[in-house]
Chain A
Amino acid sequence: MAELLEGIRVLELAQGVAGPHAGKLLAEYGADVLKVEPPGGDESRAAGPFKGDIPHPETSALFLNLNRNKRSITLSLETEEGRAIFLRLAAEADVVIENFRPGQLAACGIGYDVLSRERPDLVLASITPFGQTGPWRDYRGSEITLQAVGGPLHSNGTPTREPAKLGGSIAHYHCGVAVAFAIVLARLRVEQGGSGDWIDQAVYEAQAGFRDRRAIGLTAAGYAGMSSHRQRPASRAAVGVRPAIDGHVNILGGGSRHFGALLDLIGRPDLKEHPDFGKLVVGYSPAYAEQVEGSYIAWLFETPKKEAVAQAQARGILGGAILSVADLLSDEHYRGRGAFEAIDHPVAGEAEYAGRQLLLSETPRPPARRAPLLGEHNDEVYFDRLGYDGAALARLRGRGVI
């Protein structure tokens, strides 16, 4: 059976994380994604971490992860000729993804008005830090700054220190999923006879609608006139992250409906008899909280992290271990489910990648294709599709167009 998004043709001008992540999801589930890179390559080719820590445009882990299943050509949109070539490619595309500054595409003469004139069914997805409109539209943004102003960063970390960002490029990965969702919706409408659209995705608004506490916190701020903030670990008893013998665990004990089960597990059923037992943690007397916490910590000091979690789960208690990537790669659950995928690459070599998000009962998954080399598909696109000959291609290269 055909892949979910088979037949959708995507031009990916976007660089970095958010746009390429949208393109990655579309490509992974069957769309034909052609990456149009500037002659110097997508900025994520320079981001690393690199194979052997030696910077090389073909071995950046960020690029390799984000660009599987795509093809790559080089094309400079800073040249008149380059823009003319782009318009020929766009005429045969269903979707264009870009992340230039607001107004830059239009200033180059290839904005939504131009692209949609002949093609009202085109879907243009534009990704910017703050959106195409509004007083901050021209402001710069990056992962940490957009988490800071848009997301729940203020409540991450400990109250005696500075707030902490979420890991990696999570705001931009998340934004990329929102864009991929919007693109598929727009294609659904087009394929049913409706119109295309210009999707204006601000990373900032993806963060403000983020369901990692932000959207709930904004609702609660309207209800209670208060903001959430960083919580002291000490305000808890047998809840949250605590050290085990070989690392850390995060088990939901004190104050929860499974608290009694946890007290049984750690050999302190007597603490169920205390008058504070049924209360919320904020209602525990300091003495009770100290007894609970002390007994719990003592038990954890004798228990390996995954074992502690397995014992808690066996009693219905919610929780997990704090694992590192090395832990994941040797974990029998993830290995057994095939969560990683070995992919070979002519420069980076063979390595295991994080695999699929979805297991589809009726749509078998083809093996993943590695990320393309910079301009790897120039020949097939410029010769076969656009009809250039070798001499014409050499002239384009000489003028810095490709």
Chain B
Amino acid sequence: MSIVNYLLSSFSIGIIFLLGATGEIITEKVGHLNLGIPGVMSVGAAGGCVALQLMYGKNIPGFLIVLIALLACFISGGLMGVLYSFLTVSLHSNQNVTGLALTTFGVGITKFIMSRLTRIGAHEYLYALEYFRAPFSKTTNSLKYCGVMTFLALILALSVSFFLYRTRSGLNLRAVGESAATADAVGINVTAYKYIATIIGSGIAGLGGLYYIMDYAGSQEAYLSIEALGWLSVALVIFSLWKPHICIAGSFVFGLLYIANAYASSILGIQLPMAMTPLIKLLPYVFTIVVLILTSIRKKRENQPPAGLGITYFREER
């Protein structure tokens, strides 16, 4: 039984990485390395929780509560995307610097908002847990984590994959990320693509934060640990070679490693020393580096990072 629990928990913690990574893939495919993802995920979570807090005790049907919270979360994540793309696309700022500032700011403002929520009431937003964990909210094992957002995440990942690799707009979007100047010459509206992709990507990443609080963790202190999960999402993008459908498998692997130590004794029957925990937790990063090096050695064109990643585009520059 514990092995089933382990697999289910890994799968559901992977959903956090999956949402973050799907959002980041859209952003990176358009040529923008958004290192603000941990901040964006935190702010998304905060936005969702504020909406839930406002709807507390208002006699609203459950599905509507979830829908409004998701919307609020998507918008707050998207607003961070607006800030990021205004600075990097319109004001030509350095993407690394802007992204890191976005993380500092996002994590800070989330802590500020969430601790205020805590001070006002007694974390009433957690009342919605049963709606988020539907249809399995009554189960006692790890199946309860597979709530509505799990399915949403899978659908999002697959549709983003379809969009990027099977539609004309997706092709245009990737063209902008490979070489903005070339895309501009063909008549693609580079600025619009960059803005829209970054904003939608940030919105999706924001959902990851809300999923973590309202489904996987279901606790009032969860907002403090979103940042670490956000960095793993950035790693997952590389691990899955910028392809959302591979991300689904990748997120499961990351999930397996992330919680391995907690289940090791009950599954394998051996008590791993506590000191092993950090060594297992660093494996996702090591795997990511190995993938990064291997793809750069093999130089297979479809597996490379977008060629224009991190490069600011200015039309009048030669």
Same complex for A and B? Answer: no
B residues near A, CB below 8 A?
A: none
**A residues in contact (CB < 8 Å) with B:** none
